[in-house]
Amino acid sequence: MSRDEFTRLLKRLRQAAHDGHDLSTVSAVYAARLLHLQALTLNLRAESGALELLWGTLADGHLGADLEDLQYTLGEGPTLDAARTGEAVTETDLTTQAAAERWPAFTAATHDTSARAVIAIPLLLGVATTGVMTGYRTTTGLFPMEQRLDLETFAHTALHLLLNTPPKALAADTDLEPVPRPDLSLHHAVVHQAAGFLSSRLDIPIADALLRLRAHAFSHNRRLVDVARDVLDQRLDLTPDS
């Protein structure tokens, strides 16, 4: 990574935050490249405590979105641990037995991806964890201290941009956006819509409807967002009789 290029990026982003610009100012693909990562994501903690994927390499087929979807579906992984503990979480080799003992379902699922190492940095406002920035690498090995410090610095700057991000910027239906899809979107909006649909149709709580979606995605080895789209488009019936 060019130190000058990274320094210029941080300077531009800090000025953008000062001027009131939002997180769409920076490309996740570009930031990941400067940080020597193959994928980069940012999750925000909602009032319910759940994490919402808002920014990153989010287009279909991209590593970051797929790995965050896995954690959202399985309920375990580095991003969730960083949010829960408020501390940085790293795994330098996702193929080891130690990684499998740490996150059994998530680690097994990553074997079908190119991810081999991960680092998750909590986004802190005072003592409160407001979200998590997670970086993924396709090679095993330690994260050098300089790389960790750069990611922490970038995450802190991104948090200030996130605070300027208006809700309407996250509510857009990204399927209607031109290709390539934007880095900034409420990635799991379709999941919440499908959970609401099931909740109304089956007369069950939203939490139970979400569990039904997750269970189907896990048992059929599918992405949760794809299952949600099928439910909304009535291509998939998750009623008990079905």
Domain ranges of the chain: 3-166, 189-232
Domain at 3-166: CATH architecture? 2-Layer Sandwich (3.30)
Residue 242 above 70 pLDDT?
Answer: no
Residue-level pLDDT at 177: 36
| Helix (H), strand (E) counts: the chain | 10, 5
Model confidence pLDDT, tens digit, residues 65-87? 889 988 988 889 999 999 999 99
In CATH, 189-232 is 1.10.10: yes
Model confidence pLDDT, tens digit, residues 87-139? 999 999 999 999 999 999 999 999 999 999 999 999 988 778 889 999 999 99
Cα torsion through 170, 174, 176, 180, rounded to 10:
120
How far is Cα 7 from Cα 1, in angstroms, rounded to an integer?
Answer: 11
Q: Quick one: average pLDDT of 23-50?
A: 85
Instruction: Look up residue 74 and give its amino acid.
Output: L
Do residues 119 and 90 touch, judged by C-beta distance below 8 A? Answer: yes
Q: Are strands 117-125 and 89-91 parallel, antiparallel or unpaired?
A: antiparallel
Residue-level pLDDT at 180: 38
Model confidence pLDDT, tens digit, residues 210-233? 778 778 777 787 877 788 888 888
Tell me the whole-structure pTM to 2 decimals.
0.76
